[in-house]
């Protein structure tokens, strides 16, 4: 036989009825509040996802450049960074040369545009192009939308000296 004393649903008085009704109302309203929060979170997540996709799509429209200096140290320029990959004694022709420490630095939009203009100038100035890579010549490669263009810059070309000077500034960052 079931005892009334042990029944947790037994209501003692009218105040307890009101308290239990309030608790039930809070409990029943909780899922709708949670649904509203989940909806807000879903929209925020969707917005951030679209923003990230849009940002990457915009980046894909900007070309990437690679530049091998006169010692074959490699610089890779993207819309947001400059990466330097130096020659090491193991990869140098002399077995002794070392181009320093590798680094990657973030770039502002203005820094990217300034370097981009130098590389575009080198790509367009056919008077400074040579057919074969020689000691101290520079190599500029542009990659954009599945197209690639490469040119070799003569060691004596003023644009090569300009590019080297502009890139050296990033070694101390």
- Per residue in 147-157, pLDDT (tens digit) is 999 999 999 99
Is a pLDDT exceeding 60 seen at residue 142? yes
CA 47, CA 39: separation in Å to the nearest integer? 12
Same domain? 123 vs 156: yes
Average pLDDT, the chain: 81
Q: Is residue 2 part of a domain?
A: no
Q: Is residue 106 part of a domain?
A: yes
Handedness of CA 49, 54, 55, 56 (dihedral sign): positive
Model-wide pTM > 0.75 = no
pLDDT in tens, 21-34: 666 555 555 555 55
Domain tally for the chain? 2
Helix ranges (DSSP H) in the chain: 14-60, 109-124, 158-168
Same domain? 90 vs 164: yes
Same domain? 33 vs 92: no
Mean pLDDT, rounded, for 9-13: 56
Handedness of CA 68, 70, 73, 78 (dihedral sign): negative
The per-residue b/e assignment along 49-68, b for 16 or more CB within 10 angstroms, e otherwise, is: eeeeeeeeeeeeebbebbbb
Range of the domain at 49: 7-60
Strands 129-130 vs 81-85: parallel, antiparallel or unpaired? unpaired
């Amino acid at each position: 036989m079931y005892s009334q004393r042990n029944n947790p649903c037994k209501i003692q008085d009218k105040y307890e009825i009101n308290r239990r009704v309030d608790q039930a109302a809070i409990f029943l309203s909780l899922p709708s509040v949670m649904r509203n929060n989940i909806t807000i979170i879903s929209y925020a997540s969707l917005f951030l996802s679209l923003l990230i996709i849009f940002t990457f799509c915009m980046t894909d429209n900007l070309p990437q450049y690679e530049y091998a200096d006169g010692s074959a140290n490699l610089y890779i320029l993207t819309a947001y960074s400059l990466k330097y990959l130096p020659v090491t004694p193991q990869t140098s022709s002399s077995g002794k040369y070392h181009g320093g420490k590798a680094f990657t630095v973030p770039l502002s939009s203005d820094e990217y545009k300034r370097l981009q203009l130098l590389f575009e100038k080198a790509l367009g100035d056919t008077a400074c192009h040579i057919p074969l890579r020689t000691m101290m010549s520079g190599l500029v490669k542009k990659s954009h939308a599945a197209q690639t263009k490469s040119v070799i810059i003569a060691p004596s070309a003023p644009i090569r000296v300009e590019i080297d000077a502009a890139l050296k500034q990033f070694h101390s960052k």
